[in-house]
Amino acid sequence: MTMQAPAAVRSVRQFLAVGAGSRFVGVLAVLIGALLLAGTVSRAVVAQRLDATESIRERSAAALIIAERLRAALARADATAAANVFSWVDLVPSRPSSPAERRENYDEVKAGGYYTGDHSGDAAVSGLAGDDTAPAGDGPAAPNQYSAAVRSATTALLELREVDPGECESARAPGSTSHCAMDRIATLIPEYVGLVAEASANTRAGNTVGGSYQRLASDLMATSILGQTNLLVTAYGDRVDADYRRATGGHGEDLLLLVLACALVALVGAQVYVYRRTRRILNAGLLAATGVLGAVAVACLVLLGGQQSRLSAAQRGDFVPMTLLAASRTLALEARTCEYLSLASLGNGDGADACFQRAVAGLGYGLDGRPTPTAGALSAALAELPAERAELAAEFTAWLRERGEVVATLRRPPRPTAGAGSPDVFDDVVGVTLRSEHFDRFITRVDGLVGAHLEGFNGEVDAGAADVRLLAAVLPIALLTAASCCVIGISARVREYL
């Protein structure tokens, strides 16, 4: 009883037994199969790279940037609301003043935009349209910074819904945590606005209850609203990291180069086989296909490497500083709120003082304006930005020194001067605190740097996506050209044996 050869061995023997023309057809089939495999793998790898790169730009990073803007707007609204507690100190000063001076103070406070309503978008002027009796010099009402910040926060929340749509189903879908946080923020903002309105109403009447309402509002903002916003920032930051890993991972690139190398080996092997059968040194069609495939491999290395380099540069040079600066801005605004609440407590604000110290420590600084051994958001950002380090650090430390002087002034007992009453120390320190140019310049500079790094980040990511799009357009054409060259080169040899 003879044993039958395996099916694979029988197929090889049958192939060797047929004529040379049929063997050339088999070689062509192998080459076409190798090129089809290369095309399938390249399409999958390039599509995955392109999707991850575009996801960074349009979804994950976009959502993170909007979440940072939401957090900054909420912190800015709270700081402005806390400042409004002192908006009427100048209206009823403790030092003697004439009715004309009090009227001037009132007009100044009114022009400062401390009212609850926000008229920043109104184009109407005082008086009815066409009313010639209206004062000629009146223009649109001054913008209310608090209401403008709340409006900016709600707008950012709506934009976040557009970028990351979905429902809150944390029990069935753990990935919907961000949507649950959005729902929670949307329900807490009206509650916060109501507390601020109560604080504003009581403050206008000269009632110290306004400060108590504002402390409740600020506690709600710090513990609940900003806490939920921090969850959003963390969730979207994780998504950005995941997209970065998908967009720059080397496994897909290695697989693509492997199948291209296999196709090149098949082409070289076919070239050797044709030489042995025809005694011709080179087959023009196979040589052209080998050159095209080699150019494709080089293009993959150059374009995918360029995309990876651009994304790495965008992450190191723009994304990391931008997120650190955005976090620094939020912490600085939280410290500003705590500064106002501490001033309003008149020595009984241990909680506000601790809040201020925590926020400053989160920035990586001590109350004396010196960096702490433990790195914080601002100290880490300044380490990434040597060109802007001196300016930002100078403004920030100057604000901390200014705040230290205010605290020291409040702790000293007043010294009445001869022939006059006690100096108006509280009014003076309130004025210094409210009109801190150093803090305003610090926040303005941080806003500008965040915007500049955002533009740089978007530009680098767009350039990386353009590299992948170019490769996606070139690959099918190049592989089809290589396949056509194979068909032309082998067909000429097949016709010789027909």
For the cut 80, the answer to whether the pLDDT of residue 171 exceeds it is no
- Amino acid 406: pLDDT: 77
pLDDT level of residue 156 (50, 70, 90 thresholds): very high
d(CA 222, CA 204): 24
pLDDT level of residue 449 (50, 70, 90 thresholds): very high
Q: Which is more confident, 353 or 188?
A: 188
- Amino acid 73: pLDDT: 93
> What does the pLDDT average to over 305-326?
90
C-alpha atoms less than 13 angstroms from C-alpha of 438 in its C-beta half-sphere: 17
Strand, helix or coil for residue 371: strand
- Amino acid 123: pLDDT: 41
For the cut 70, the answer to whether the pLDDT of residue 63 exceeds it is yes
DSSP string, 102-146: HHHHHHHHHHTT-SSS--TT----SS-TT-TTS-TT--SPPP-HH
Structure tokens at 430: 């309130």
Q: What is the pLDDT of residues 7-20, one digit of tens each?
A: 656 655 554 444 55
pLDDT level of residue 225 (50, 70, 90 thresholds): very high
Highest-confidence segment of 22-31, 135-144, 173-182, 301-310: 301-310
For the cut 50, the answer to whether the pLDDT of residue 375 exceeds it is yes
d(CA 248, CA 343): 50
- Amino acid 353: pLDDT: 81
- Amino acid 93: pLDDT: 54
- Amino acid 126: pLDDT: 36
**Sequence ranges of the domains in the chain:** 18-113+143-496
Q: What is the pLDDT of residues 245-277, one digit of tens each?
A: 888 877 777 888 888 888 888 888 888 887 777
d(CA 265, CA 165): 48
Percent of the residues in the chain that have a pLDDT greater than 90, as a whole number = 18
Mean pLDDT of the chain: 78
> What does the pLDDT average to over 30-47?
88
d(CA 388, CA 447): 13
- Amino acid 192: pLDDT: 92
Q: Which residue has the tokens 């999958």?
A: 44
Q: Which residue has the tokens 């089939």?
A: 29
Q: Which residue has the tokens 């999707």?
A: 51
Q: Which amino acid is at 49?
A: R
For the cut 50, the answer to whether the pLDDT of residue 139 exceeds it is no
Q: Which is more confident, 327 or 278?
A: 327
pLDDT level of residue 168 (50, 70, 90 thresholds): confident
pLDDT level of residue 133 (50, 70, 90 thresholds): very low
pTM, entire model: 0.76
Number of C-beta neighbours around residue 399 at 10 A: 23
- Amino acid 130: pLDDT: 39
For the cut 60, the answer to whether the pLDDT of residue 402 exceeds it is yes
DSSP string, 308-349: HHHHHHHIIIIIHHHHHHHHHHHHHHHHHHHHHHHHHHTT--
pLDDT level of residue 147 (50, 70, 90 thresholds): confident
pLDDT level of residue 158 (50, 70, 90 thresholds): very high
d(CA 252, CA 259): 11
Torsions phi, psi for 371 (to 5 deg) = -65, 145
